[in-house]
Amino acid sequence: MHVVNSPSRQIPLVALLVTSALALSACSSGSAGVPGAAPSPSGATSGAGGGLASVYANAPVAAVADLLPGSTMEKIKKRGKLIVAEALDAPLLSQQDPTNPANVDGFDADLAKMLAIYILGKPNVEIVPPASETREALLGNGTVDVVFNTYTITVERAAQVDFAGPYFASGLAVAVKADNTAIHGISDLGGKTVIVGANTPAVTEVPKQQPTATIISFGTDPEAVQALTQGRGDAYVQDFTLLASDAASNKAIKVVGQPFTTEPYGIGLKHGDTQFKTFVNGWLKKIEADGSWAKIWTATLGTAVTSSVPTPPAIGSVPGS
């Protein structure tokens, strides 16, 4: 395995070079068509949701004039691949298929492939798995082009990196046993026994929203899930994406409703690269408007929840974006 050196630590470089061409036809308004052959199995038909072949087939592609001379977009185009920092072990977000390591699927992973198509006309992606503390360094030293890694936008981080988006709003959500039909979200937790993770925002946020709830806390997510399935609490409140991951691997629980707090995720970019930020934000607007974003959510995170497709957050709507 090749190793990429960053200022803070060495990061294993897992090459996910999806070289299969796509059978892509006409694209959305203002986009060029993409030539190719058979659909790539990575993300198009495999992974948590599957059924994304048509999304890739109609993915927007940037006009040549948008790949400005000397820009990051032009550099990526000439290189022939988009280098992305994303996890390999995050179910429904970016998870490597153990039976086929070339396949990494999920909401973040599939969005990264869509961005690669927008720049390159094909989903050529190379993945560098980051640690939370190395994301800024990976962008700053040019090891990666973008970060898709549940990267919460904050003013403090925005002093070191730029953020496109937000592209998704996570936050605290509610999970219940799969056969529970009485609880549909935070509004139904009054008087209930609610499981939370120790030292998580839920410890203070649930009593704030439901003062009559009884709170019991557990040190780890597996302990909390086990307590819920054993009936030691009526509901479990935790971050939406973590609960969706839990529900994907444990059919005894389900996620209900939408997040009731907001944690905006952004696409990390090198600080000061205004051209690339404008370009990526433009791409986000296209895939949100043409329904691609919603289809990717439905095929990934949406497979583990009972709620409807959320409305994407407005681009540039939070401090630091």
The architecture of the domain spanning 3-170+263-304 is 3-Layer(aba) Sandwich (3.40)
Could you state, in order of their start, the residue ranges of all structural domains in the chain? 3-170+263-304, 172-256
Give the CATH H-level superfamily of domain 172-256: Periplasmic binding protein-like II (3.40.190.10)
- Report which DSSP code applies to 8: S
pLDDT score of 82: 98
The percent of residues above 70 in pLDDT, for the chain, comes to 84
pLDDT value for 118? 98
Print the SS3 string covering 242-307. HHHHHHHHCCCEEEECCCCCCEEEEEEEECCCHHHHHHHHHHHHHHHHCCHHHHHHHHCHHHHECC
| pLDDT tens digits along 259-291 | 999 999 999 999 999 999 999 999 999 999 999
For residue range 57-114, list pLDDT tens digits in order.
999 999 999 999 999 999 999 999 999 999 898 889 999 988 988 889 999 999 999 9
Domains 3-170+263-304 and 172-256 share a fold: yes
Position 268 scores a pLDDT of 97
Does the structure show a pLDDT above 80 at 14? no
Q: What is the per-residue pLDDT across 118-138, written as a single tens digit (0 to 9) for each?
A: 999 999 999 999 887 899 999
